[in-house]
């Protein structure tokens, strides 16, 4: 795909149609409250970072393929059983860990099939990172000061602005891979419209990632409630009380949209997810709130995009 040749025309186009176009994906099953009952005023949306996972674990059970599940696959099973639609902020390049370990992501056949499954089962794809510069503790701000490069091997430097930067190239690669997953599931023309910065860092000194987000048509999403399960394997279980407390606080503060962040590559988070959902339900019941009357989890991709695209940080 020739991103540089499209230049400013693409920038204008993606800003106009990015979120609106993605909102059309799998719009067939819009959630409707029982007849005569108003929509709940509070929506909770789960978001997951760092996937898709290419590692299989027996402890996560076996899927339809007969193979052990990856953490991402187990998360998808739980969400499907609960009728919850979520957003997945994905990596579309290999993740380089401290110590030299390289974890495959959405660039592989399995990773791409998981992206397709996320679309197929009514979830939303967003970008966490892509391209050549993915690594465990690297920030988007580090790529702002690096030159733009060819992120898909077609011999053309991928950028939108002039002269561009490596973050634009990284994100364009993620957008392309996500668009391919949407197209493979019958949603040609759809593409990721959301981004979450790794390590929650988008400004560092005089380096600001937000102009690159805007240039490629991505809306930044952070979170109201999260635990450090991207670093600590048992965080979702050990700190579930902390996450529930953050959810309850956001609700008490009058926030109608509560964004929850976890990591779908953490196998312990994947295994613990049903209990975490139950604890969130109990926490909101303790606030005197009734599910489906006062609050609900997002249940279709349009609803996910509506909640996330109207949030600003």
Q: What is the CATH number of the domain that holds 252?
A: 3.20.20.370
Percent of the chain with pLDDT over 70: 88
Give a yes or no: residue 32 inside a domain. no
The pLDDT mean for the chain works out to 89
d(CA 85, CA 297): 8
Question: For the packed helices 166-184 and 109-120, what is the interaxial angle rounded to 10 degrees?
Answer: 60
Beta bridge partners, 43, equal: 257, 296
In degrees and rounded to multiples of 5, residue 220 shows phi and psi of -75, 135
Give a yes or no: residue 231 inside a domain. yes
- Which token pair is 58? 């027996």
Mean pLDDT of 142-152: 95
Give a yes or no: residue 39 inside a domain. no
Residue-wise pLDDT tens digits, 12-22? 444 334 444 44
In this predicted structure, the answer to whether residue 181 has a pLDDT above a threshold of 80 is: yes
Lowest mean pLDDT across 8-22, 141-155, 157-171: 8-22
Give a yes or no: residue 37 inside a domain. no
- Which token pair is 193? 């419209």
Give a yes or no: residue 213 inside a domain. yes
Number of domains the chain is built from: 1
Which domain does 73 fall in, by range? 3-26+46-309
- Which token pair is 249? 């606080």
Lowest mean pLDDT across 31-40, 41-50, 75-84, 281-290: 31-40
Give a yes or no: residue 40 inside a domain. no
Give a yes or no: residue 38 inside a domain. no
Q: Classify the C-alpha dihedral 85-268-71-265 as positive or negative.
A: positive
- Top pLDDT among 278 and 19 is at 278
Model confidence band, residue 35 (pLDDT cutoffs 50, 70, 90): low
d(CA 121, CA 193): 18
In this predicted structure, the answer to whether residue 237 has a pLDDT above a threshold of 50 is: yes
d(CA 1, CA 58): 39
Give a yes or no: residue 133 inside a domain. yes
Model confidence band, residue 236 (pLDDT cutoffs 50, 70, 90): confident
d(CA 271, CA 60): 6
Look up tokens 């674990």; give the residue.
57
């Amino acid at each position: 795909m020739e991103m540089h040749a499209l230049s400013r025309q693409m920038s204008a186009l993606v800003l106009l149609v990015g979120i609106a176009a993605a909102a059309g994906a799998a719009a067939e099953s819009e959630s409707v409250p029982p007849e005569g009952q108003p929509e709940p005023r509070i929506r909770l949306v789960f978001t997951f970072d760092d996937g898709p996972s290419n590692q299989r674990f027996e402890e996560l059970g076996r899927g339809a393929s007969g193979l052990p599940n990856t953490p991402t696959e187990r998360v998808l099973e739980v969400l499907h059983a609960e009728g919850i639609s979520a957003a997945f902020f994905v990596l579309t390049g290999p993740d380089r860990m401290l110590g030299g370990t390289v974890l495959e992501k959405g660039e592989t056949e399995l990773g791409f099939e998981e992206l397709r499954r996320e679309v197929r089962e009514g979830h939303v794809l967003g970008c966490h990172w892509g391209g050549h510069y993915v690594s465990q503790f690297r920030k988007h701000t580090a790529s702002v000061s690096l030159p733009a490069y060819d992120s898909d091997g077609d011999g053309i430097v991928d950028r939108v602005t002039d002269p561009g930067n490596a973050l634009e190239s990284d994100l364009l690669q993620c957008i392309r891979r996500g668009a391919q997953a949407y197209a493979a599931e019958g949603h040609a023309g759809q593409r990721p419209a959301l981004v979450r910065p790794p390590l929650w860092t988008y400004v560092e000194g005089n380096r600001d990632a937000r102009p690159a987000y805007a240039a490629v048509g991505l809306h930044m999403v952070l979170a109201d409630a999260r635990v450090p399960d991207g670093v600590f394997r048992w965080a979702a279980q050990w700190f579930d009380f902390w996450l529930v407390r953050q959810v309850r606080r956001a609700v008490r503060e009058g926030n109608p949209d509560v964004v929850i962040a976890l990591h779908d590559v953490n196998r312990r988070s994947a295994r613990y997810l049903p209990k975490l959902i139950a604890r969130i339900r109990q926490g909101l019941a303790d606030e005197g709130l009734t599910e489906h009357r006062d609050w609900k989890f997002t249940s279709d991709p349009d609803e996910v995009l509506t909640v996330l695209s109207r949030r600003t940080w």
